Amino acid sequence: MTNAVAGLGLAPDAAMVTFPIEMFLPGSDIGPVRARKQEFYDGLTRWRSSLAGAGAGEPPMLRVEGTSVEDTFARANHLMLANRWGDGLPLWPPTRERVDWILRGTAEARGRRLGTFPPRGGVTTVESCAIALAMAGGRPEYLPVLAAAVEAFLDPESGSETLQAASGSAFPVVIVNGPIGARIRLNAGFGCLGPDPQRPAGASIGRALRLLQQNLGGALPGIGTMANYGGLRHTNVVFAEDEASLPAGWTPHGTERHGFPSGTSSISLAFANGAANIRRRGAKKETPEEDARQGMHRMADFMRVPNMAGLAGYEHGTPGILMIPGVVAQTMVGLGWTKASIREFLWEHSRIPAEALRRAGGPAWIEIDTSKVVRESLVLDPWPITAQPENFVIVVAGGGHPTNSYWLQGYSPGVVGRRIEPPAAFESLLAEAERDLGPA
């Protein structure tokens, strides 16, 4: 990690002595410490920061020239990749014109500061979001969603300061509630976690967030983030809850978790480190009750794992996000289940027997946790994977088909909500989208 100290307000250099990972493993040869002792001594005595100045300076605009549009576009993309600003897919160069167009999606001043992106500490503004969204192929009407997601990401409660750099491959999950989801063509139905030319908003917004994580936050694989796998990081996860399919009596996630009035456009951000499709439906002649109960057991079985990273959200965050199709939620409600009873069932049946936890070395992680609630949970047998049933995030999404549900395993110290604030001229942006993309 060569730049994390910048996130603390220090110059982005520091006196460090670095070694290959092998020396940090159990039973390693630590002789290199002796061999390189002078580097430690120099760090305490002779080292000087190469950056003596203070304050923030805006980088200059970049210029490329080519023999044709195609050549110039390629040169711009090569330049961005060479500077480690890309993700391997084609980027839209964030020209002044393009960024100004994206900025029509907000009433905020372009220079309004949203925070600094950890660990590198890049100053994050509304304009930063527009630049990333332009690179990601986004549109102006996506900007209010991205800005809200960035604000939530930078909220200390999200845990992003640690998760951005950690090895656990956490990726942000952004759940959108309220009317804005459908209006900007954000998917809530079939294939809502993947690309969709009919509903392209999620891929662009998620990719822009990832570009911000990398370009402002410095989360370059193996340099700024030690994420072993970096799963789902091309576009992160951005989808809308399928509110039209909520069973009677179920409140939208943003209302339930964050208290936003129903009908409020909002985002909810959590972090996950895994994703599993669960074959929920039965295969033979199950009664409706058996089908529901067996599916619930199967979901709980997927959750009953020693996800030690999940301890980060044990008390206030979430063990994960369970996505169920609307038709399943409606069927279960018809059978007498409530969201609360579903959570109770999952909490009870995902508990891990103490012996299984012990043989996997779980108690050591629990004992060193910062949370007293986590440490004290060790006496419980079977051990619950989260402090309380309410911590499970359950959302309705995924299309009108009953076979599967989806579990986004949590690595999430908090679940952070933000209202989405579209500009007054939002309707005209949607009309432009209709013109550009055809009917929604």
Partner 1 sequence: MVRLEFHDPSGAIEVTQAHAARVAALASKRVGFVSNEQWQAYRMLPLLKGLLEADFPGIEVLPIDAFPQGNAVIGSEETAALVKASGVDAVVIGNAA
Touching partner 1, residues 128-187 (CB under 8 A): 128, 131-132, 135
Comparing CA positions, the residue from 40, 75, 147, 159 lying closest to residue 412 is 159
Query: Quick check: 65 binds partner 1 (CB under 8 A)?
Result: yes
Comparing CA positions, the residue from 430, 410, 435, 419 lying closest to residue 169 is 410
Dihedral Cα 384, 390, 396, 398, nearest 10 deg: -30
Query: Quick check: 285 binds partner 1 (CB under 8 A)?
Result: no
Query: Quick check: 2 binds partner 1 (CB under 8 A)?
Result: no
* From 116-124, 271-279, 308-316, 320-328, span contacting partner 1 (CB under 8 A): 116-124
Residue span 368-387 as binding mask against partner 1, x where in contact by CB under 8 A, dash where not: xxx-----------------
Binders in 21-60 for partner 1, by CB under 8 A = 21, 23-26, 28, 30, 33-34, 37, 40-41, 44-49, 51-60
Instruction: Return the axis-axis angle of helices 339-349 and 288-303, rounded to nearest 10°.
Output: 50
Shortest reach from residue 32's CB to partner 1, in Å: 9
Looking at the Cβ atoms of 139 and 343, the one nearer to partner 1 is 139
Helix (H) or strand (E) holding 160: helix 160-163
Shortest reach from residue 216's CB to partner 1, in Å: 5
Residue type, 46: R
Q: What is the DSSP letter of 381?
A: S
Dihedral Cα 384, 389, 393, 399, nearest 10 deg: 100
Shortest reach from residue 383's CB to partner 1, in Å: 20
Looking at the Cβ atoms of 63 and 435, the one nearer to partner 1 is 63
Question: What number of CA atoms fall less than 13 Å from residue 420's CA on the CB side?
Answer: 29
Question: What number of CA atoms fall less than 13 Å from residue 196's CA on the CB side?
Answer: 20
Structure-token pair, residue 352? 């891990």
Comparing CA positions, the residue from 321, 302, 147, 162 lying closest to residue 232 is 321
Binders in 194-253 for partner 1, by CB under 8 A = 211, 215-216, 226
Query: Can you tell me the distance from the alpha carbon of 150 to that of 172, in angstroms, rounded to the nearest whole number?
Result: 10
Which of residues 104, 108, 116, 154 is near partner 1 by CB under 8 A?
Answer: 116
Looking at the Cβ atoms of 7 and 389, the one nearer to partner 1 is 7
Q: Rounded to the nearest 5°, which phi and psi values hold at 124? A: -110, 120
Shortest reach from residue 409's CB to partner 1, in Å: 22
Shortest reach from residue 108's CB to partner 1, in Å: 17
Query: Quick check: 71 binds partner 1 (CB under 8 A)?
Result: yes
Which of residues 67, 285, 336, 435 is near partner 1 by CB under 8 A?
Answer: 67
Shortest reach from residue 21's CB to partner 1, in Å: 6
